[in-house]
Amino acid sequence: MMKKEHNDVSKFLSYVLRHQPEAIGLELDSEGWASIDTLIAGAASQGQQLDKPLIEAVVASSDKKRFALSADGMRIRAVQGHSTAKVDITFSEKRPPDTLYHGTASRFLASILAEGLTPQSRQYVHLSADREVAIQVGQRYGTPVVLEINALAMFEHGHQFFQADNGVWLVRQVAVEFIGQ
């Protein structure tokens, strides 16, 4: 029961901290931070019961480290994956490894190979240094396909790479010439 509860809370937190904070009357600052007290009150107004120990447990137990707590423990944010324009986390540019991976579903492959990777409704394309993680991501959307991204070549051509606190690599887009299979 605990794992299911944590999973349900994680999904709820992802929804309000990445995509729809206004659904519970939550304000995010430009770095994505929100008051935990306001989050708890807003969630309660929508029938979602949260408390600080539960939120802290979900943050600590998240295998993908999707969330971070502020140093004082009073605020929370999603570390990446935002679709709301109000949030634009300041990441430091970082040199990527030679190859990164992107997991997707086979039904999207033709479009990607024609147009490249774009962030769609999010701010960045998400890439992984781990092929297995990319497979897991692709499985969420159908039959998985893993694309190999020539990240170092992109970087050397002037594309900026960032890395979120949870290790996810972020880039604004990936042109077709940097995509392999």
Given this model, what pLDDT does residue 9 score? 94
**Quick one: pLDDT at residue 181?**
81
Q: What stretch of H or E contains 144?
A: strand 144-150
Q: Environment class of residue 32 by beta-carbon count within 10 Å: exposed (0-12), middle (13-18) or buried (19+)?
A: buried
Provide the pLDDT for residue 162. Answer: 97
CA distance 150 to 167: 18
pLDDT of 63: 78
DSSP assigned state of 152 = H
Give the predicted TM-score (pTM) of the model: 0.82
The closest of 137, 130, 76, 61 to 104, measured between CA atoms, is 137
Q: Residue 152 phi/psi, 5° resolution?
A: -65, -40
Average pLDDT along the chain, 181 residues, taken 10 residues at a time: 83 95 95 97 94 95 89 95 89 96 95 95 93 93 94 98 94 97 81
**Do 81 and 67 touch, CB atoms closer than 8 A?**
no
The pLDDT value given to residue 118: 96
